[in-house]
Amino acid sequence: MKEIKKAYRSMALRYHPDVCPPPMKEESTRIFVQLHAAYMTLSDPVLRREYDSQLGLGNFEKPLKMDCTTDHVTRSRWQEQILELKRRSSCRMAEKEGSWGSRIRAQNTGKN
């Protein structure tokens, strides 16, 4: 479990949308979401067993199934988290750059 957590942390720091430059932000967000989903699967014993059984790694009689409501709830939660990450990123960028009005004033006075 420590290996999984260590690998997740190093990759999360590399692909977090807040640390990637703008051209790669969308791609890094997608990778970060997949990375987090993988970490949640591998760190949860029930989900890990299901994943292993689907790969044929476990000695289980039948694979565990997730129902549609669980999948829908998980997707909704992910979408909420992505929106929150984007909101936080926008706020941080606005703090660094100043308000829209201050940027326009700086442009008009030639201080840009």
CA 94, CA 49: separation in Å to the nearest integer? Answer: 44
Task: Show me where the domains of the chain are located.
Answer: 1-64, 66-112
Q: Is the pTM of this model over 0.85?
A: no
Please give the share of the chain, as a percent, with pLDDT higher than 70: 78
Q: What is the pLDDT of residues 74-91, one digit of tens each?
A: 777 788 888 888 888 777
Residue 111: what are its φ and ψ, rounded to 5°? Answer: -90, 5
CATH T-level fold of 1-64: Helix Hairpins (1.10.287)
CA 89, CA 54: separation in Å to the nearest integer? Answer: 36
Q: What is the pLDDT of residues 20-39, one digit of tens each?
A: 777 788 888 888 888 888 88
CA 35, CA 9: separation in Å to the nearest integer? Answer: 10
